[in-house]
Amino acid sequence: MNSIGFGDLVAAVLPALAVGDKPALFGALAEAAAAATGLPADLILARLQERELLGSTGFGDGTAIPHARIADLPRVTALVARLAPPVDYGALDGGPVDLVVLLLSPEGAGADHLKALARISRTLRSPAAVAGLRAAGDEAALRAALGGLAQAA
């Protein structure tokens, strides 16, 4: 995990996800994660909802990192979504969210999960990194921006 950057964890990119609210967002993320991992969407959704009951994973400035641990997941995996339009997420600052990084980890990946969460959090606290992700016009540009983050991490 030490040599893996944030961009290297990303299995899927959703550059213009249109959902009406947080439950619809979680459903769409679960479907995309199921396609990327081969795990059932309902299992992923249940784990995301369980984690969110502990407290909002929206930490401000329009960003959120919903995350969960799943027993049969083979490796730490992330999905990046830009929301158009932003949704009310219940974020710590009360603002809407337009940039989401879903992090899924195997149940036994305690240290790797925490390292990935910290790396993503650091990235989303960087105004330059967030601006680059928001400015990317399409999937290719968003993947290129993430690739740049992989090099910088």
Is 67 among the residues known to form the active site? yes
- DSSP secondary structure of 106-153: ETT-HHHHHHHHHHHHHHHT-HHHHHHHHH--SHHHHHHHHHHHHHH-
Report the C-alpha gap between 13 and 136 in whole angstroms: 12
Residue from 67, 69, 82, 119 carrying the catalytic annotation: 67
Closest CA to 7 of 137, 133, 96: 133
Report the C-alpha gap between 104 and 37 in whole angstroms: 10
What residues are labeled active site? Answer: 67
